[in-house]
Structure formats: structure tokens, C-alpha cells
Structure 1
Amino acid sequence: MTTHKIGIIGLGKIAQDQHLPAIRANPNFELLAVSSTRGLTDHDAQYTFRDYRDLLGLKDVEAVSICTPPQVRHQIAREALLAGKSVLLEKPPAATLSELEDLRHLGEKQGKTVFTTWHAQYNKAVGEAKKALAGWSIKRLQVTWKEDVRHWHPGQQWIWEAGGFGVFDPGINALSIVTRIMPEPVFIKTADLEFPANKDAPIAATLQLQTGHADGDLQAVFDWRQTGPQTWDIEVETEAGFALKLSHGGSCLEIDGRLVVQEEPAEYQGIYRRFDALLTLGRSEVDDAPFRLVADAFMIGRRVQVEAFED
């Protein structure tokens, strides 16, 4: 059994809450180094750095998990690949599709693994939903993804900047499930994007979707202004008449009202099991389908200005 010596670049909330515990729980990984501009202690890893370039200089580091904001991820990942490291990319994997394509090609050239992680896809319920929908035509799709940005992204101003994705930072999780479970490709038909008067990224979005041959009722609604209970639901109805619902971010599945899967999310454990397999095989896995839907929404979306938002 090979133990992969790994580093983390960017020790924000997602890295602390998910990546660190998942790495430490997986015996096939050894956390060797961590880099963060916020400062670290010797309890975080054997080596700690403020400058990620110092981490990339460690010969024993085989791979790095890049958990920075997306605006700077491409340059860091590029330097990591050129330094001979494989890379795991938090979602969204870059700021633009062109950046991701560059990383894909550079990984091939360097012979290193590039892995795009869509954590919501690693719920068991998502896999079961994909199996249930295989081969069927979809009549209705309703995605409702509403949460409280003040709770989930406290003080994270980068999400409101150009390239920070705004409400699509969580919304892309929903789209990653949609692209995984739908039996045929999905396209953006129309998009209304609500931008606060004082922000450069949307706080809400309403998307009309379509498939290549059907005129089904397919839509998604994202909103960052939800308070109280949070809503992460995907409802699907097929032409054959059966319906399913994924709830709690994709961790629960009902088919025709019958509970089929209900489990505690173990998304990042699944991500690192997959990364271990890819590193062992020397393969990359670059899934850009959710990313393309977000890019298309920005490309054809109608900008709607709403009142200023203070967080």
C-alpha cells in the first residue's frame, strides 16, 4: 500500500472543516505540509509555510490540495504541476474554463494527476439517483438551492468579487449533481442573475434549462438570502411518471415518496479515496460539465440589479 505525501495550499474554512479531517482519516495519505497566508502552528502539519512556493519546494510532497479562492487557483496549480506535484482542485476548479483547460493539458504534459472535485457527487444518494434515471426521458426538474451566505461564508469578501462566483459557489454543487444524474446533457436556456448594487457577483439566480430533444419543465433557483432552515433539494419527474427527490444537499433520496437512501454526508472521504486511486493509477479526472453550465449562465444571463447587501 502506497502512502501519498500531500500538502494543502490555502487553509480556509473548507480546508479546516473537510480536507484536514479527511486526509488524517485516510491511511493512504500523510499530511506533510500546509501553506496559508493566515499563519499556522506546528500542529497543522510537519512543515508549515506562509508562501506556497516554499511548500512546492519540498521534494517529498507528491501532491497538493489547492483550497484557495478560485481567482488565484490557476497560477498556483500551474506552478505545482511544473514542480512535479499532482493537484487536487477544490470547486470551482479555476476562475475560467480556459484556465482549467490549460491545467488539463499541462497535467498531461507533466505526467501528473489533475483532479477536479465536485464534493456533492460523492453522496451515495446521488449515485442511486443516477441509476434510477438511466434511460428515462425527463419531464420536470426543479432545483431549489437556498442558503444563508452570512452563515456559510462569514467575512469572505472574495466571493463577492469578479471571479468569485457569488451564489454559484454553492449553486455549482447543485449543478454538479444535475450533470451527474441526468440521463442526457443539460443546457442553459435562460438565466436571470441578481446582483446587489454594491457587489460584483450575483446573490441569486433563476435558470431555465433544456435538453437536446425534449421540451420539459427544467429550472433551478439559487438564493443566498435564505434564513432559518436551509434548502438544498432536487426534484425530478420522468415521462414514465415516477418521481425522485434528492434533499439535504444530495445525501437523502426518495423515489415516489419512499425513502431509499438517508445517510450522513461523507463527501470528502469519498474524494480522497478517489484521489488515492487516481494517484496510484497515474490518471487525471477533469470534469468540466458543472463549470460549463455556470459559465453559460454568466454568458447569456440577464443582469438584474437588486438592493445593496451588507454581510
Structure 2
Amino acid sequence: LRAVNEVSLDIFPGETAGLVGESGCGKSTLAYIIMRLEKMTRGEMFFEGRSLAEMSKAQRRALRPMIQTVFQDPQSSLNPRFRVRQIVEEPLRLNGWTDAEKRRERVLGLLARVGLGPEFMDRFPHELSGGQRQRVAVARALCLNPKLMVLDEPTSALDVSVQAQVLNLLRELQAEFGMAYLFISHNLAVVRYLCDRVMVMYLGRLVEIAPTEELFMRPAHPYTEMLLQSIPSLDRNRPLAAASNDEMPSPLNTPPGCGFHPRCPRAVERCRREVPGLSAVSDGRWAACHLALRE
């Protein structure tokens, strides 16, 4: 099984890069690789021009504070035995902040920045709402001034109104601190609102990369068309999805050629034989599709 296969991408300072695709396509595995929670079996990863493979253990440890994450479910990502102040200050303590008073001031400032007052300092996670727990997770991720934040479905466990509050908070924090975001989501409406660029993943491969509005207005890959047509709509005249109702093939038994060809209504013989590489189709747009490249 190759959960992530020949993926090549860039994330630029200050941008929000979206990563979308069906469950099981490899999005979270790619995020874990970036966060160093999973090891690559092949390939390279660079951060600010430096190869992680060439770094010493001490250099990689020094790099860890620069890449932080906010997980999908704050209920499971926060230690239930820790109070809020302990949760947020733990990264500070582990990274050399020995002065307890400075840690407390930092925690108070971060909680205030994400919209939580000092009265939340001594509460446990079970005493908070879902939105409040996710704000604590954001404060914890911010405490070491990261340059890249990996957001793995950070709003999917929240009510719609709370989702909007957290998304607006993320936009404000990015404008204030200049961080880059890798935003992983199934919710394409949220991706369109928040992201500057979108990367579409299918069976462990990237099949399209494009600026957000261009991707939503003119998708280049048939799989991207299928994803966009699956967005709920009240328009009865909107055409049905471009793909069949078949589920994504098992990553353990991928079809030959283009992995999407069994579901693609426009597939040709070449699609069944050759795996298309990610190639430029226009300025700033990339697609892994024989038909898109031909057009």
C-alpha cells in the first residue's frame, strides 16, 4: 500500500493551501508526513530551503516549533486531565520557557487572542463547548509562533455557526502573524472561502492544483468536476456528477493507468494504460489527466 504516491507540492509563506479529496485518498497521511508524525519511505521534504533529511536530530527538534497542527476533533486532541492553562503552556515548558510567570502571561495573551477570557484558565476540556475546545487547540498551536500550521479538518466537528467563528478567527490570525496554512477539508464551500490555492488528491496522488476561483469555475480534471458537482445545491437544473456512483477503488488494488478511469465517463484507451503525471495545463494550473493536457 502506498498511501501517498509521487506527491510534489509547495506551500508558500502567508498563503492558505487547501487539500481536498474523498476519505481514504491520503490527505491525513500527507499531513502526518509534513508534521513528522509519519516517516517517508522515499522522497525529500524541504522547509525554508533546508532538507530535513540532511538535518541532525537537534536541528529537526529545533524545527518542530515552526510546524504546528490543529486536529479534527478537539475532544480527543486535548488531554482530558489537563486544565486549559496546562494544555496551552505545555509546548512552552517543553521548549525552554522556565519562568512560570512568563508562561502564564503568554497563555493569558493567547487565550484572549482566540476569544477566551482568564476564567477559562482552570477549566478542563469537558467543561468547554466544541468551539471553545477548538479555540484552545488553536491557542496551543500558536504559542511557539509557527510558520506553518497544518489544519486537519479543524471545523468538521463543529456546528455551522461555530465553524464560521473559527474560520474567521483563523483568517484574522493569519493576517496578524503571517503564517502559512495547509487546510485539509471535505467541505468545499469552506475551502473556497478560506484557501488561496487548492490541491485535489485521489488514490494517494495529486490530480489537480489551481488557484481557488479558477478551480471552482473551470476544473481541469474530471475528478475535480465530480467533487464540485457533489456540493449540495437547490438548483434542480444542475447536471448530475460527471462520474458514476462507484466508490473509490481500494488503495491496495489500484487500477492500471489513471486511477480514476473506472469512474470517468470520458476515459479513453490511453487512460487505461498510462499513469498521467502532474503537468502544467496553463499558467499556475497543473493537472494529471491525459484529456486535460490534450485540450
Range class of TM-score, shorter chain:
0.3 to 0.5
What is the TM-score with the length of structure 1 in the denominator?
0.32
* Bigger helix fraction: 2
What is the TM-score with the length of structure 2 in the denominator?
0.34
* Bigger strand fraction: 1
Tell me: higher relative CO, structure 1 or 2? Use CA pairs within 8 A at least 6 residues apart. Answer: 2
